[in-house]
Amino acid sequence: MSTNTAPLLDATDVVVEYPMKGWRTPPFRALKGVSARIEAGRTLGLVGESGSGKTTLGRAVLGLAPVTGGSIRFRGQEIAHLPRAERRALSSEIQVVFQDPYTSLNPAMTVGDILSEPLEVAGVARVAARDRIRELLDQVNLPGDSIDRLPREFSGGQRQRVAIARALALDPALIVCDEPVSALDLSTQARVLDLFIEIQERTGVAYLFVSHDLSVIRHISHDVAVMYRGEIVETGDAERVTSSPSHPYTQRLMMAAPVAHPRRQALRRAERRELLDAQAAADVLEVAS
């Protein structure tokens, strides 16, 4: 294949086996040969019931799961078994946003410190880091004075904005988003999803977006992969998979959770900007109250 057409991320026949306690117990095969691709600037939504292996695939991409077979290529380079130093170097390219904004931020650090950490590690000079932090806060629609505040002073949605800003700090090409809105209430979910889309349109970042919720997946994704018991049973264009699924498991998932909003491509950038500004104003009021 020509390198021009190589996807950003290309996972082929990935197998993950978790070792089990007891020397006679065989390892548990959480991924049974999973293949998935993500192009630059696109979102692949991974959906499936609890235990189907979604988080495990995200962790495999992050180098955090025991990959025992297959390959994971990032920009054409094999990354499934990178030595620690090389994996660390890759962290400016591949970032993560976790599910729980209450535990993923250090409660003792100010937002400024949380955001400066990755910049410091990457050797960004202090003054440049300060400017970058202001830019990041602006990108996620948090007020500039958030810098001196602690996570406990923010709502769940605002904390997730801080986590997103931290993931964006080094301008990554790919963010693994592991159920990043499932701890949030419905209206906050929609705002944070729109923020993810807005950021993608502005920066060209790609997402591997994990969720058990088909309506969330439909809202955010260009492409969808449906996981069931460690395998991908259906994959394709998000609109197609979520409106006329061909696999019986996807059909069952859909019946369990009828989906609403397709990805809001129709919303013009200016309209979304206006919406986000209004939402940010509402968030500022929420902080103040």
Ligand X SMILES: Nc1ncnc2c1ncn2[C@@H]1O[C@H](COP(=O)(O)OP(=O)(O)OP(=O)(O)O)[C@@H](O)[C@H]1O
The residues of the shown chain that bind ligand X, judged by CB under 6 A, are 18, 28, 30, 48, 50-56, 212
Residue 54 vs 218, nearer CB to ligand X: 54
Q: How far is the CB of 28 from ligand X (least distance, A)?
A: 5
Q: How far is the CB of 214 from ligand X (least distance, A)?
A: 13
d(CA 225, CA 232): 6
Residue 54 vs 263, nearer CB to ligand X: 54
Q: How many CA within 13 A on the CB side of residue 177?
A: 37
> Is 119 in contact with 129 (CB distance < 8 Å)?
yes
The two tokens of residue 272 are: 């979304």
Residue 133 vs 193, nearer CB to ligand X: 193
Q: How far is the CB of 55 from ligand X (least distance, A)?
A: 3
d(CA 72, CA 77): 8
Helices 156-168 & 111-121, crossing angle to 10 degrees?
A: 20
In sequence order, which residues have a C-beta less than 8 Å from that of residue 207 and are 6 or more positions away? 38, 42, 43, 44, 174, 175, 176, 177, 196, 200, 220
Q: How far is the CB of 211 from ligand X (least distance, A)?
A: 8
Residue 141 vs 215, nearer CB to ligand X: 215
* DSSP string across 42-63: -EEEEE-STTSSHHHHHHHHTT
Q: How far is the CB of 31 from ligand X (least distance, A)?
A: 8
Q: How far is the CB of 30 from ligand X (least distance, A)?
A: 4
d(CA 162, CA 149): 11
> Is 90 in contact with 83 (CB distance < 8 Å)?
no
Residue 47 vs 140, nearer CB to ligand X: 47
Residue 53 vs 245, nearer CB to ligand X: 53
